[in-house]
Structure 1
Amino acid sequence: MSFGEPDNPYGKPQGQQPDQQPGYGQQPGQQPGYGYPQGQQPPGYGYPQAPPVQPYGYPAAPTQMPGGVKAARVMLWVISGFQILSGILAFAAMGTIDEAIDDAGAGSAEAEAFADLGKGVVAVVAVLTLIFAALSITLALKMKSGRNATRVCAIVYGAFATLIGVLALPLGIITMALGILIIVFVAKSDGAAWFQRPRH
């Protein structure tokens, strides 16, 4: 069988015009197009497509507050409510100290000094409680627009709330649990992305 025979599958096709030959209208000397027509790309193999990125290579910034940050914000409001209530009760307890001294019938100078010391300690605790309540409210308000400093302050505040809850056990178990959850939710990666997002 020679290559010139018309039925030879290995020979040069006979009688085909240049537009019928492989390559679909390519000029002589060009490589014929194999697999996919010109201008089309085969689907990707092996690796998934990368997500689109923002200009300069930064990933897309979150546009809504993540659920963990929202939960931490609610917990800050709850803790501030507990602290305001505790401060009011502490100030109310100052009057009961005088009543307890009067009911005991101890009108000596030592009893009065002891009562004054007790009232001073209660007043300091009440003022500190109200200061922490104000800080909690400020952090809750700054969660929406705050930067990374707000996140750091919230983590430190959660650590203090946890410590105060441990010192006040068993009554402080709620404050301790909320403090731990604030730390966890704000320190997560989506929380970090929220507070470090670019501002325009």
Structure 2
Amino acid sequence: MSFGDPNNPYGQPPQQHSGQPGYGYPQQQSSGYGYPSPPRSYGGPGPVTVMPGSVKAARVMLFVLGGFQVLGGLLMIVASGRLADFIEEEISSDPNVSSDPNISSEDLSTIGNVSAGIMIVFGVIALAFAFWAIFTGVKMATGYGGVRVSAIIYASVVTLFSVLTLIGANVFALISLLLGVLIIVFCANRNGSQWFNRPRY
């Protein structure tokens, strides 16, 4: 019996063909049709599955700005009544106004109510902006490119108003200005583009 006889217990075992997986060489699963490559976390090859840190930071900034705008809007609405009373008292205490027979108490009340109404309108606008920021921040986890555009537009508007209010020496506008610029940068850079344009499975 030769060594090549498969029935020979003392013969040499048959050689495996080259290219086939042998001992110590496990066969790798094909990544072709029917076997998609596994998704990756941020930083490796393949689609992005974990939100980048810069996008997370932009999301937190949206929540912070939205929270401040909620407080500001509610304060303006609540304080509108007191503002009306204050304006009415200040105008009525003016000697030129009190001595003018053409200005009645009803006129003073109208001026106060108009001032309160303007304050309420600004409060509602602030609440609307707050909803915009918070809703955009929530959708950043699952949203598409439209959420990215929404965040950039919101941050641009906040940045513009912050610059305008800085003219009046509003120190707090520096905070909103900084946050607005950072949101734009973090959403517009490469990490933001990869996250919002990632494939969905």
TM-score normalised by the chain length of structure 1: 0.67
1:73 aligns with 2:74: no
Find the aligned partners of 2:163 and 2:57 in 1 and give their Cα distance.
22
How do 1:9-158 residues align onto structure 2 when only pairs under 5 Å count? Answer: 60-104=46-90, 106=92, 108-158=105-155
| Contact 1:62/1:193, CA 8 A, preserved across alignment | yes
Question: One-letter code of the match for 2:192?
Answer: G
Say which is worse superposed, 124-133 or 104-113, in terms of deviation: 104-113
Give runs of ≥4 in structure 1 deviating > 4 Å. Answer: none
Find the aligned partners of 2:90 and 2:177 in 1 and give their Cα distance.
36
1:156-188 Cα shifts (integer Å, max 9, x gaps):
011011112122222322111111110000001
Shift of 1:102: 5.0
Give the structure with higher Rg (CA): 1
Find the aligned partners of 1:72 and 1:109 in 2 and give their Cα distance.
50
Q: What value does the CA root-mean-square deviation take over the aligned residues?
A: 2.2
Number of residue pairs matched? Answer: 147
| Contact 1:164/1:175, CA 8 A, preserved across alignment | no
Gaps of 5+ in 1: 1-38, 40-53
Distance 1:105 1:150, change over 3 A: closer
1:126-167 Cα shifts (integer Å, max 9, x gaps):
001001101111011011100001001110011011112122
Find the aligned partners of 1:149 and 1:115 in 2 and give their Cα distance.
42
